[in-house]
Amino acid sequence: MNILVTGGAGYIGSILVPKLLQLGYKVTVIDNFLFDQNSLADACYYNNFTVIKADVRNIQVILEYLKNADLIIPLAALVGAPICSQDPVGASTINRGAIIDLLSVTSADQKLIMPTTNSAYGSGNENNYCDENSELFPISQYAIEKVEVERAIMSRSNSISLRLATVFGMSPRMRTDLLVNDFVYKALNDRSLVLFEKQFKRNFIHVRDVAKALIHAIENFDLMSGEIYNVGLSSANISKQELAEAIKKYIPELQIFDAEFAKDPDQRNYIVSNAKIEATGFKTSFTLDDGIQELIKGYKMISNNKYTNI
């Protein structure tokens, strides 16, 4: 199978692409290497690997490499509310425009697996509980445009949408600005965390389990096609306070402070069901504790200012 991965040198792609190559798939990556990363250097060993340095908004480049693709995984995006606020036009043209353009030139028989986001749930219903049938209340530009893209994707055949929980863990193209990753970094370097609206809950998932879910969708495409799936760690529907306490187990000197009267600009607060993808046979392999311990080791090697999206 020939797989085209846009943004394949990013946080998720840098874990996914080597695994696809090891499984024998032919993989073409299109990435603009915005963060000057060399996270796929080791992949160059594989004869079944092709890498193109280009902007995914360049439809002529997409057309050239799309024609041989059996399956497309569009990972290219400016991910998260802060970077979208910093460059709203760039975010819209990459996160939404480039995907709509891609869909316009993709044939009906080409398969597509799209990672979207469970941040589209916003604050959920009155119980903050969400499954794939729940109403969406996207708050940020990033979430709003992911919802638009998901609707476009699900209007075509041969498509799967994976609504990802907040991702954590080490990756060759590291991001320290994701919530778990950020909290662990601050716990190690500042020995303190200030929590805004500490009761707000969110679902989490290890980056390697995201890659595992994408591969699971490839291998079970006929079973899963035409559907939307939440992809998260079911044991990690937890509050910021619970996350901070989990980190404190490994950094006992950590001081946790409550910003009692402050409002978090990120108003996401939800509990997510992952039962639908679990019913297809998917199981996560990494716990939150696994990720925290991994991050503590990894942060001995990196500095924060090089590894954020903003």
Tell me, yes or no, whether 196 and 139 share the same domain.
Answer: no
What pLDDT is stored for residue 268 in this prediction? 81
Residues 157, 137 within the same domain: yes
Tell me the pLDDT tens digit for each residue of 173-226.
Answer: 999 999 999 999 999 999 999 998 899 999 999 999 999 999 999 999 999 999
d(CA 162, CA 213): 8
Task: Indicate whether 26 pLDDT > 70.
Answer: yes
* Domains in the chain, number: 2
Same domain, 253 and 146: no
Q: How far apart are CA 28 and CA 43, in angstroms?
A: 11
Mean pLDDT, the chain, integer: 93
CATH number of the CATH domain containing 266: 3.90.25.10
The answer to whether position 71 is within a domain reads yes
Q: Does the structure show a pLDDT above 80 at 151?
A: yes
Residue 186, phi-psi category: left (phi > 0), alpha (psi -120 to 50), beta (remainder): alpha
Structural domain of 298:
179-202+235-306
Co-location of 249 and 115 in the same domain: no
| Residue 103 CA to its chain's centroid (Å) | 20
The rounded distance, in Å, linking the Cα atoms of 94 and 62 is 13
Tell me the pLDDT tens digit for each residue of 243-272.
999 999 999 999 999 987 777 766 788 999
Which of 214, 232, 250 is the endpoint of a domain? Answer: 232
Rounded to two decimals, the pTM is 0.95
| Pairing of β 111-117 and β 159-164 | parallel
Q: Are 296 and 184 in contact (CB under 8 A)?
A: yes
**126 and 271 housed in the same domain:** no
What is the mean predicted confidence (pLDDT) over 226-245?
97
Contact 210, 12 (CB under 8 A): yes
> Is 145 found in the same domain as 106?
yes
Average pLDDT, stretch 144-157?
A: 94
